[in-house]
Structure 1
Amino acid sequence: MVQQPSLLVNPTEPSEEDEKLRLIPQDDEDQGINLGSVDCMLAFTSIFIFVWRRGRVSRRGICLVGLCESGKTLIFSQLIYKKAVESFTSMKENVGVLDIASKGALKLIDVPGHERVRQRFFDNYKNTARGIVFVLDSFTLNKDVRDVAEYLYTVLSDPVVSSNRPQVLILCNKQDHALAKGPQVIQSILEKEMNVLRNTQTNQLEAVAEGGNKKSFYLGQEGKNFEFADIRSLRIEFAAASAQTADLENLKKWLQLVA
């Protein structure tokens, strides 16, 4: 029997055949799959950016919301008609087009403040809102603080608002009154009231959630007192204004940035 010579492989010294094989591209099919995956990811990213930008462009609405007699309609008329128009409690919205220099047009919606209809009208326009202006009466806040906080809480915790992330301006109107409170004081008052309201709302929602009907929504940061800065999904600012004296410069600057 003739003994066949054994093949010795030295791992530190590759043979000439090994070098040739190493130069031949391996796993062509796998490379094609990887390249295809990259192409799919790039295509998906492009589609996502296109849809996101299109959504931003289509959301050109600015919703003016707030309680009755907070001054929303007067602000609307000052911006749209450049003058004060006599207003009264309305059960329907006012809609106008506001041209912003170098930014295009915004659709301004004055949402009725009456508690029976305001949510219905807000629901009609919230999905197209690029910004929300919550108007409050700086002079009567102490008397209305509970109602103001409840309405503001409803707006800020709305699932569509949280998802679309429009910019929010809390406009402290009627600053022409001598006893009107400034934006910083109003922010502090509202944060205290919203903290109490949040605890009440959270307890109620948790009680419902135990029955499996509704998931609770927590506004702000758990484990600490309520602060507007803790609502990370929204950018919330405060500003002073006086629609009666046509002092709306802070609002106009905000609209310029939002547009």
Structure 2
Amino acid sequence: MERSVGGDMGGKEDAKMLENTVKQFIEYVRKQVEEQDPVFLISVVVALAAIIITCVFLKYFLTSKTVRSAVLLVGLCDSGKTLLFSRLVSGKFKRTQTSITDSSAPYKAKSDKGTTWTLIDLPGHDSLRAQYLEKFKSAARAIVFVVDSAIFQKEVRDVAEFLYVLLTDSVICRNTPTLLVACNKQDITMAKSAKLIQQQLEKELNTLRVTRSAALGSQDGSVGGSVFLGRKGKDFEFSQLPMRVEFLECSALSNKAEEGEADIKSLEKSLAKL
């Protein structure tokens, strides 16, 4: 790419003017110091101290970012979150039951870097998930939203409502963690595809946005609920969100049940990109 000659000359002139200004200021300060004006010396010391403190504060503020190293597994009850958690952590099948508390373990991404994240399985019951989301959302590097693809048609409204809470949460919108919608149980014949699930969720979220828009300013006890979903004046699409969103298909339990291997390579591949 060619550089502008006029731009270079303008930049050099500005730099020269700044240099001359600094030299004049230094010369002025030197003369005042030689004259030993106490009032002026005190004012200079105070000014310099203020500048130094401001620089230190700005450096600290700009560089001290919260390290988000958690990957949250969320979703409705019986979507397969806990078995998926076990598969990711140990690669093994484990009998599960409905979670009433969180579970966490280190997860090493299958990538060249081999970065280790903290994988956290959050309860899916509607009476518990809000409090656990509130507890861990600030640490989320990514959120894996697990969907039961086999019975999605029956749960589409509940899935959309939970997603709406996530996507309108002010902390999540500010931190923009990666959102991975894991369409689980693809080993079942009647399972819906990731593409169909995405399309139906966009329609349902668009409807929810309309019905809830009047209550955005009210306190309804949900997490967040203060950020407008998508773009005003346009039907909702996941591409409008500030975070990276991926829909993928997986199976924590194979069609051979306990003896079969899980099909979670697509999820592992997405986690390796974090």
Gaps of 5+ in 2: 1-19, 30-43, 255-261
CA distances 1:67-95 after superposition (whole Å, capped 9, x unpaired): 00101011011111211111111211121
Contact kept in structure 2, 1:202 and 1:217, CA below 8 Å: no
Contact kept in structure 2, 1:202 and 1:216, CA below 8 Å: no
Q: Distance in 2 between matches of 1:199 and 1:124?
A: 29
Q: Please list every run of at least 4 consecutive aligned residues from structure 1 whose deviation after the TM superposition is greater than 3 angstroms.
A: 25-30, 35-46
Corresponding residue of 1:14: none
Contact kept in structure 2, 1:220 and 1:227, CA below 8 Å: yes
Given residue 50 of structure 1, which amino acid in structure 2 is its aligned partner?
A: T
Corresponding residue of 2:108: 99
Corresponding residue of 1:223: 233
Corresponding residue of 1:162: 173
Given residue 163 of structure 2, which amino acid in structure 1 is its aligned partner?
A: L
Q: What does residue range 1-259 of structure 1 map to in structure 2 within 5 Å?
A: 26-28=24-26, 46-52=59-65, 55-56=66-67, 59-100=68-109, 102-206=113-217, 208=218, 216-232=226-242, 234-245=243-254, 246-258=262-274
TM-score of the superposition, structure 2-length normalised?
0.73
3-state SS of paired residue (1:242): coil
Q: Distance in 1 between matches of 2:54 and 2:181?
A: 40
The Cα shift of 1:40 comes to 7.6
3-state SS of paired residue (1:26): helix
CA distances 1:110-168 after superposition (whole Å, capped 9, x unpaired): 10101111111121111111110000011111100000000011111112111222111
Contact kept in structure 2, 1:175 and 1:241, CA below 8 Å: yes
CA RMSD of aligned residues (A): 2.7
Q: Distance in 1 between matches of 2:225 and 2:176?
A: 20
The Cα shift of 1:103 comes to 3.4
TM-score of the superposition, structure 1-length normalised?
0.77
Given residue 266 of structure 2, which amino acid in structure 1 is its aligned partner?
A: N
Q: Distance in 2 between matches of 1:118 and 1:193?
A: 21
Cα distance change, pair 44–150 in 1 and its aligned pair in 2 (3 A): same
Gaps of 5+ in 1: 1-21
Rg: which structure is higher? 1
Q: Distance in 2 between matches of 1:65 and 1:38?
A: 47
Cα distance change, pair 164–216 in 1 and its aligned pair in 2 (3 A): closer
Corresponding residue of 1:18: none
CA distances 1:166-209 after superposition (whole Å, capped 9, x unpaired): 11111111111222111111111000000000111112225x49
Q: Distance in 1 between matches of 2:272 and 2:71?
A: 12
Q: Distance in 2 between matches of 1:96 and 1:115?
A: 23
Contact kept in structure 1, 2:165 and 2:225, CA below 8 Å: no
The Cα shift of 1:46 comes to 3.8
User: How many positions carry a matched residue from both structures?
Assistant: 224
Q: Distance in 2 between matches of 1:215 and 1:63?
A: 19
Give aligned-pair identity as a percent.
Answer: 40
Contact kept in structure 1, 2:169 and 2:226, CA below 8 Å: no
Contact kept in structure 2, 1:68 and 1:113, CA below 8 Å: yes
Q: Distance in 2 between matches of 1:221 and 1:231?
A: 9
